A and B are shown apart, each in its own frame.
Chain A
Amino acid sequence: MDHRPQAWGRPRDDVYGAYDYSYLQSGGPKQMTQSPVVTGTSVIGIKFKDGVILAADNLASYGSLARFTDVKRLRVFLGTSVVGFGGDVSDMQYLDRHLNELAIDESYEGGGAQEEHGEKGKLNAANLHTYLHKLMYRRRNDFDPLWNQVLVAGLDAAGKPHLSSVDLRGTAFTSPSLATGFGAALAQPIMRKYAATEEDAARLTRDQAVKVVQDCMKVLYYRDARSLDKYSIAVVTKDGVELKEDEQLEKQSWAFAEQIRGYGTQTV
């Protein structure tokens, strides 16, 4: 038995061979996130008549392992905007802390005084998107990226619905509907049927848009192996954010699974 604390919790040398100490180097090139570890899958968002809806499931995966099943990936900012995170969960938590600081600073700047007059904070969703875009682009220039793709939902300065995205390289864009990860292939075509253009989105009612998002979350659960049937959904309007973090997918039908042939244990 090796009694030295330095050896505790280490693979035994006599079983696994000498430990590769290069992983513990303090000198040498600085190590930065080079690939995501614990990850969240798709985030989806769609604009409607008087706001935006954002949804993401509550799973954080460790590779193919469903590691954490109660992780909230939608974050409210200043009670007026919502940020949805896909990708690395530790980088999401870093951004969350950073946005907390920003929100406190922003409230001191005069947001608090405005709140009494019915205005909440100065930074709207469009401003927040620009901020995150600059932050992510800076980090990619430093070769120290935050391994996320995020969606920002809320209202812009004119009070119009705002939905936009930033990824780990600082690429920023907007669209009437957006989806990250697997959602870009599975959910986006469904959402585009209902909100192909800004005009289409401006005709969608809240109930219609919620239904579309629920359908998309169901499709994602059927076909994305790193997803969960427990999800969060946020509705942002001028009246604020309604965030539900413990939604359950309803009326699933797995009957189609029996029809699938050609892979897995099924050989005929």
Chain B
Amino acid sequence: MAMFSQNPLMNGPNYSFSDAPKTSAPEGSREHRFDPYTDNGGSTLAIAGADFAIMAGDTRLTSGYSINSRHHPKVFKIGGTTADQHDATIVLSVVGFAADGEALKERLDSICKMYRYRHGKPMSVKACAQRLSTILYQKRFFPYYAYAILGGLDEAGKGAVYSYDPVGSYEREQCRAGGAAASLIMPFLDNQVNFKNQYVPGSGEGHALQERERRPLSRNEVEILVKDAFDGAVERHIEVGDGLQMMVITSNGVEEILLPLKKD
């Protein structure tokens, strides 16, 4: 019986640890218990107008049912000459896993700053949008778990909003909601920005119904729309609240507005 033997056994104590038989290694690799991702909640929203774009996000940072911070911004100016971003023309919002969002923001910002240094001019939103997609896709197999939206003015001076998924698929849109309350805000935006399911009263029955004509919204209308969208989201989603941060991008630069939201 092996238990009475005084000889070193191949499946028992040996003379050095490194001599331990390799055959006793477990099948496959061990399970890694560390999960590198979490969801820090919050919601973002962007709407493009005729000559402006508005980027917005709430300022709550959660982990589970806890509120970590009531003032943690998700909307950032990108690619200014200095750290205070006073001359920035592009705005990025990130929501999802906060640490990845922060890292993504800092990478895009330093890339935009390098572009400005090398070319002597600020990056266009179109170029920046493509570059952001590349950054996200480069980490395709260990993604930044962040839903990004990029906003600015295009070459013609029109408001531009680009939205992304965590691995870099992107498209230019009129408006987009991201994060925890995206599914609550997006249908409201479809109806109020793109006038979906709105018809001219008395224009007919069934297919004969005429759609309400689309018109670009004014800056004031959009600001009210954003506030209403977030007030609605705060009411129905526990991870959204505390403060509303809005960045209004016009040809005069970026204006930041901070409004209170319910803190419950």
Contacts and interface: CB of A to CB of B under 8 A. Distances in A.
Contacts of B97: 169, 171
A143 B32 CA distance: 9
B51 interface: no
A22 B68 contact: no
Interface stretch (A6-14, A75-83, A255-263): A6-14
B40 interface: yes
B12 A13 contact: yes
**Of residues B17, B37, B99, which shows the largest number of chain A Cβ atoms within 10 Å of its Cβ?**
B99
A29 B103 CA distance: 28
Contact of B102 (A6, A7, A20, A172): A172
Interface residues of B, number: 42
Given A137-B99, A173-B72, A19 B12 contact: yes
A33 B30 CA distance: 13
A172 B30 CA distance: 30
B153 interface: no
Interface residues of A, number: 38
Contact of B68 (A7, A14, A173): A173
A171 B70 CA distance: 15
Nearest to A136: B99
A6 B36 contact: no
Contact of B25 (A25, A31, A137): A25
A112 to B, nearest CB: 28
Contacts of B6: 2
B22 interface: yes
A225 interface: no
B70 A21 contact: no
A45 to B, nearest CB: 13
Given A13-B3, A18-B12, A175-B68, A140 B17 contact: no
Nearest to A7: B13
A173 B26 contact: no
Contacts of A28: 25, 29
A227 interface: no
Interface of A: 2, 4, 6-7, 10, 13-14, 18-22, 24-29, 31, 33-35, 137, 140-141, 143, 145, 165, 169-175, 184-185, 188
- Top 5 nearest A-B pairs (CB, nearest first) are A14-B3, A170-B99, A21-B20, A173-B69, A34-B33
